[in-house]
């Protein structure tokens, strides 16, 4: 999160969903106020928008599908959230069309696409601008966070795939889980002897600088 003493972060994701850790830990560690919607505010989009307008929000964190739902209403724009300067999306595929709408509605905001399975929160990120949203489809998940390492491996042989060849995303680092609670068998199925988490997600290593 960018340093700002008056930062307000959107704590939208339910606590039972792993992405909520990104809202809470990163927000509080950066000194931000956390803003959450009351249950009655979520009964209608109008009530949701009224609450957002009064929130003073500076950092938006949600799944792409939630912001897509908000974008259906043309009033969801910089006038509604004038202090918004960061939009961070994770947990789902971020579509190019959605990125272009966000960039049009919130011209002052930096838009980030992030990736990370439940067991390793947000291990990559990339800033999405208009050129990237128009020219690269699907959007890349970006670059590894400091202290993280990732490999794309052939799921059959376990060998690392060359650049441009699709394989399974595997990663390890400071925020990779140590294992499933009291379930060593399940842990052994996804974490190998070198500490790499086998995510089950498919990806391609790309050496292009975006």
pLDDT of residue 121: 77
pLDDT of residue 5: 84
CA 39 distance to own-chain centroid: 23
pLDDT of residue 22: 75
d(CA 197, CA 13): 24
d(CA 195, CA 64): 30
pLDDT of residue 133: 98
Positions of E strands within the chain:
8-10, 33-35, 59-62, 86-89, 110-115, 124-127, 143-144, 148-153, 166-173, 197-204
Q: How many CB atoms lie within 10 A of CB 16?
A: 6
The answer to whether 163 and 136 are in contact (CB under 8 A) is: no
Q: In what order do the strands lie in the sheet with 110-115?
A: 33-35, 8-10, 59-62, 86-89, 110-115, 124-127, 143-144
For the whole model, what pTM was predicted? 0.91
The answer to whether 197 and 172 are in contact (CB under 8 A) is: yes
pLDDT tens string, the chain, 210 residues long: the values are 777 889 999 988 777 777 777 778 888 888 999 999 998 998 999 999 999 999 999 999 999 999 999 999 999 999 999 999 999 999 899 999 999 999 999 999 999 999 988 888 788 999 999 999 999 999 999 999 888 999 999 999 989 999 999 999 999 998 889 999 999 999 999 999 999 999 999 999 988 887
List the one residue out of 183, 20, 27 whose CA is nearest residue 91: 20
Kindly state the DSSP code that residue 5 receives in the 8-state scheme.
T
The answer to whether 84 and 112 are in contact (CB under 8 A) is: no
pLDDT of residue 14: 75
């Amino acid at each position: 999160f960018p340093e700002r003493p008056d930062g307000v972060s959107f704590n939208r994701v339910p606590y039972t969903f792993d992405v909520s850790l990104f809202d809470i830990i990163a927000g509080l560690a950066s000194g931000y106020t956390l803003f959450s919607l009351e249950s009655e505010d979520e009964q209608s989009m109008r009530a949701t928008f009224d609450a957002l307008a009064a929130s003073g929000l500076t950092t938006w964190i949600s799944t792409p599908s939630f912001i897509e739902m908000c974008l259906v209403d043309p009033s969801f724009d910089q006038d509604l959230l004038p202090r918004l300067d960061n939009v961070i999306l994770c947990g789902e595929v971020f579509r190019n069309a959605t990125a272009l709408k966000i960039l049009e509605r919130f011209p002052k905001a930096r838009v980030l696409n992030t990736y990370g399975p439940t067991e390793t929160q947000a291990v990559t990120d990339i800033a999405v601008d208009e050129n990237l949203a128009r020219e690269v489809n699907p959007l890349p998940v970006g670059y590894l966070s400091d202290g993280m390492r990732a490999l794309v491996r052939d799921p059959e042989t376990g060998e690392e795939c060359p650049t441009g060849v699709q394989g399974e995303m595997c990663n390890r680092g400071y925020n990779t889980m140590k294992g499933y609670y009291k379930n060593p068998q399940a842990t052994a199925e996804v974490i190998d002897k070198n500490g790499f988490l086998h995510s089950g997600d498919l990806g391609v290593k790309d050496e292009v600088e975006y």
